Amino acid sequence: METVKKLIREVPDFPKKGILFYDITTLLKDAQGFRRVIDGLTEIFRDQEIDLVCGIEARGFIFAPTVAFALGAGFVPVRKPHKLPAETESVTYDLEYGTDSLEIHKDAITPGQRVLLLDDVLATGGTAAAVARLIRKLQGELVGAAFVIELDFLGGRKKLDGIEITSLVHY
């Protein structure tokens, strides 16, 4: 995964001063790098009988459906409020300043289905923990949470206690 890491661009002071942003667009446009990421994640979960891969708007929508397709699983979008047209379940979680919400369609998961949560970056873990709550509200069986990048120094995995976490690249 060292070659994958080299393809991730580090942009200082984005979206605000003091944040080092890990930009995956430089990885995505590299055919071999993109394939390595999708193959890497698919390999790990191939034998886990995943029914659904749940991806978070917006960058999660790049990786989650691709891995779902490779696994022969379905894809479920988790979206920002008021984007999903049918009945939704929602969750509110804390940000550094204020709160944010995410929604999922109530009928997106049939109770007992085996669900993989997949996002681009695990930072503080707030987003993934909120999505884990949504999956469990719908009685999905949360098989694990997978990320392309994990920012170890932020300790996000503490918020995902009890969930099997897989990350391809660590900082």
Q: Which residues bind ligand AMP (CB under 6 A)?
A: 19-22, 56, 59, 119-128, 156
Closest CB to ligand AMP among 89 and 119?
119
Catalytic residue from among 36, 57, 59, 141: 59
- C-alpha distance from residue 4 to each of 37, 45, 65, 168, 171 (Å): 7, 19, 20, 9, 13
Residue 97 CB, shortest distance to ligand AMP, in Å, is 13
Q: 104: which strand partners?
A: 89
Residue 124 CB, shortest distance to ligand AMP, in Å, is 3
Based on the residue annotation, tell me whether 114 is a catalytic residue of this protein: no
Q: Does residue 143 sit in helix, strand or coil? A: strand
Pairing of strands 165-170, 114-122: unpaired
- C-alpha distance from residue 136 to each of 4, 14, 164 (Å): 32, 33, 15
Residue 86 CB, shortest distance to ligand AMP, in Å, is 24
Task: Give the neighbor-by-neighbor strand order of the sheet with 52-56.
Answer: 74-78, 52-56, 114-122, 141-150, 165-170
Closest CB to ligand AMP among 18 and 111?
18
Closest CB to ligand AMP among 51 and 150?
150
Based on the residue annotation, tell me whether 59 is a catalytic residue of this protein: yes
Q: Catalytic residue numbers? A: 59, 96
